[in-house]
Amino acid sequence: MVEAFVGTWKMTSSENFDEYMKAIGVGFATRQMGNMAKPNLLFSIDDGVISMKSQSTFKTTETKFKLNEEFDEMTADDRKTKTLVTFENGKLVQKQTWDGKTTTLERELQDGKLIAKCVMDDVVAVRTYEKEV
């Protein structure tokens, strides 16, 4: 159930994120900031609309969507994407398409942690979050 994601999640680790940002075409300066940022993720649901907010000292972005409905997204690194979020096997799967490219972000709960897997071609980054009480 998507409701299990609701709350505030604090990042505890980030692996291979610089390589992932390179793979999706993020420039050097933005990658430097992205690697230093340790964003909190805030999930909420209001009347079937899911809000996913990423907050850091560098930048705060908010994405609102309904499951299984494609929408236009402006990503934190300023890509304009067509995005579709589905809920499959307990995972929130976010697929972003732009300029003939596609990346997938899978978020799932494991042992009380939120694991975000960012995949672009053969590059995989894993970011781990713990729920704030």
Cα distance between residue 51 and residue 104, in whole Å: 18
- Longest CA span, the chain: 41
Calculate Rg over the CA atoms of the chain.
14
Model confidence pLDDT, tens digit, residues 64-93 = 999 999 999 999 899 999 999 999 999 999
Residues constituting the chain: 133
Q: Which of 37, 49, 52, 39 is nearest to 7 (CA)?
A: 52
Per DSSP, 3 falls in state G
Supply the pTM of this predicted model.
0.94
pLDDT tens for 94-113 read: 999 999 999 999 999 999 99
CA distance 77 to 64: 17
